[in-house]
Amino acid sequence: MQAKKQHTYCMVCGKEKTGISVKEDYVIDIIRWFKKTVLRSESHNLLVVCKEDYPVYKKYRKRFVSRQRIYIVLGVLFVIFGMIISPFITTLLYMLALLLFLYLLSLINYVPALDLMKYKEGKKTVGKKKDAL
């Protein structure tokens, strides 16, 4: 069986380009699992951020991280205040469910981190051209 060629696509502009690869984390693993098992449409693409879109990526990533922190802090505050107002196990369960819901809401605007370790180790770009960054 012939191995499929992996294409590299910029996650910001969506074009096939070279750039710094995106770190494979649990969110991307879940999306890939869903596409493979449920949709049966795995595409074997690698996500990168190209040189031209790196400033835009940094802005998106900063916004995502700050929103995620806000959602988690709000969730923790809800858990604390909920336990102060009503110190029962059912309240704790409801507040933890709310915390989980707020965390999932923070993933709506998910922007993965870049794999800078590969970039620093000498694999500066992923794709056809090595002089892109």
Q: What is the pLDDT of residues 21-63, one digit of tens each?
A: 888 888 888 888 888 888 777 777 788 888 888 899 999 999 9
pLDDT digits (tens, 9 = 90+) for 85-115: 888 888 888 888 989 998 898 888 888 888 7
Of the listed ranges 6-15, 43-52, 115-124, the least confidently predicted one is: 115-124
Q: In the numeric block, which tokens belong to residue 86?
A: 């009503």
Q: What is the pTM of this model?
A: 0.72
CB 49 within 8 A of CB 8: no
Domain chopping of the chain, boundaries: 8-120
Type of residue at 61: R
Long-range Cβ contact pairs of 93-101 (< 8 A, separation 24 or more): 99/72, 99/75, 100/75
